[in-house]
Amino acid sequence: MKIKRNFLILFLIIGFVFPVGEAGAVFLLIAPGAAAQGTGEANVARVDDAYASYYNPASLAFQNKTSFVGMHVNWLKTLVPDLYYEFIGFTSPGYGGTIGGHLIFLSLGEQLATDADGNELGNFKSYMWALDGSYGTKLSDNTAVGVGFKLFHQKLADDITENEGEGKPYSTDFAFDISYMLRKQKQFGLISKIHSAFGLNSYDSGKDKFRFGLNIANIGPPIAFIDEDQADPCPTNMRLGFFSNLYEDKYVSVNMLMDMQKLLVAPYPSMDWDGDRKIGDGNENSGVFMNAEGQNEDAYFDPWYKAWVTAWFDDWYYGGDIDFDDNKFIGGYTWIDGSNEGLPDGSPQPEELIFDEVGPYGCQDCDVAGENSASDFVPGVGQVVKELGSKNDRTFSKEFEEVIFNTGFEIWYTENFVLRFGYIYDKEGDITNPTFGAGVNFDGYGFDFGYTAGEQGHPRSNTLFFSLSAEI
């Protein structure tokens, strides 16, 4: 079989700043809106325009006007100069609430096609799009719920094989969102006490003082391209956030926003549950990666209806020795005598182990082999990773390292001018980007600008966002 297209680089392009190894269709996680970008992408509790169909469909219930938004950004321009992200959205009151929707289009630019021998076959274009319809309705004067349904398509390349029926480099899939919003005209807790102590409650414009928002987005079946057995889960993402008015007078208003989000995908690596140093190979289940007790020891994903819960607990609740290099063996050493026998319980004796320079347990030309214990393995040259004793290394705190924090502030002068600044903190994705923005709004027509800064050379730094909005 001859491969005609090399499109793996496209996954690397759009997945550079997302946990692409854990989910598919990561373009659905790109946060739209220049205003949101100015506040560090915190928007799930603040959103009050047509971006609601993306961030929080429940907030549609509090919008009683027809409106439109549009955004353009040259995304990750330090990696690919012709990668563009476009977003248009709308709202319209009706049917006991408010309907909304949006269209996302991501152009991955032009790619070079080659055959298996590296011969150039010409250029092709890659792209992705998502079409969403949403609805929000009130439960009470201050609470609302919302739902959204989206259809999305990913085209990474043209047909990648010469033979039909061997898979396609494109897919069409669906997902849905569920959301909630609470709003209050009075402050809660500590902020309310601070306001009272400093006499900041004397002015009341009638606008919301506090909001809470929750959105679980992209709930859907697995996404597959070439191999159905290697499908990736849909990028189900939970985002919750707060909005608080810190100060307000006749002319100036200061708001604080904070979002916390986590990918609700529960991946499980290959684990040696029975401690025999092998993944699977049970007496009655040989070849299906189950041990003699019938436990699945092979890597897998939880389905979305379980991942809502297990995604928060997989890193600390489940122990076991982990097969990081996916060679179906635990450890990077083999037996001196070649017998693959150890203690009566099947565990090895460290003094009987040596480094295997050419076998499946280790690597070739590894300088540190003699300096490591039998509880280490080497997946690549010079890299030593522990496969044994992983249970003691897994803690609940590691789960919080996967949480993304979005924090921002707005300073409004009247209702026409606004300055924004924020911060994106993603420890797992190594993203620590300050953001800035500004906007103007007159008679329902608005223009917003957002800017993401960051370290020199980071793909998300020096990114400009532009948005237009209109109310009818």
Q: What is the DSSP string of 178-220?
A: EEEEEEESS--HHHHHHHHHTTTTS---SS-SEEEEEEEEEE-
Which of 125, 140, 61 shows the shortest CA–CA distance to 99? 61
List the chain pLDDT tens, one digit each, 472 residues: 333 334 444 444 454 455 445 678 889 999 999 999 999 999 999 999 999 999 999 999 999 999 999 999 988 777 777 788 999 999 999 999 999 999 999 988 777 766 666 677 777 788 899 999 999 999 999 999 999 999 999 987 766 544 444 557 788 999 999 999 999 987 666 666 666 666 666 566 778 889 999 999 999 988 887 666 677 889 999 999 999 988 888 899 999 999 999 988 887 888 888 777 778 876 655 557 888 888 888 888 887 778 877 877 766 666 677 776 676 777 654 444 444 455 455 554 444 333 444 333 333 333 333 344 444 443 433 334 456 665 555 666 767 778 999 999 999 999 899 999 999 998 877 788 899 999 999 988 999 999 998 776 677 788 899 999 999 8
**Is residue 460 classed exposed, middle or buried when 0-12, 13-18 and 19+ CB atoms within 10 A define those classes?**
buried
- Calpha distance 241→411 (Å, rounded): 19
pLDDT at position 116 is 64
The dihedral region occupied by 389, where left means phi > 0, alpha psi between -120 and 50, and beta the remainder, is left
pLDDT at position 386 is 57
- Calpha distance 36→251 (Å, rounded): 22
- CATH number corresponding to 8-263+404-471: 2.40.160
Three-state DSSP class for residue 319? coil
Q: Exposure string (b/e) for 152-171, b if CB count within 10 Å is 16 or more?
A: bebbbbbebbeeeeeebbbb
- Calpha distance 246→409 (Å, rounded): 10
- Calpha distance 36→282 (Å, rounded): 52
Distances (CA, A) of 328 to 100, 234, 259, 341, 453: 49, 26, 40, 17, 43
The dihedral region occupied by 33, where left means phi > 0, alpha psi between -120 and 50, and beta the remainder, is left
Q: Which one-letter DSSP state was computed for residue 58?
A: G
According to DSSP, the residues that pair with 212 across neighbouring strands are 182, 242
Total residue count of the chain as it appears in this document: 472
pLDDT at position 265 is 85
Q: What pTM was computed for the model?
A: 0.80
The per-residue pLDDT for range 390-423, each reduced to its tens digit, is 555 566 676 777 899 999 999 999 989 999 999 9
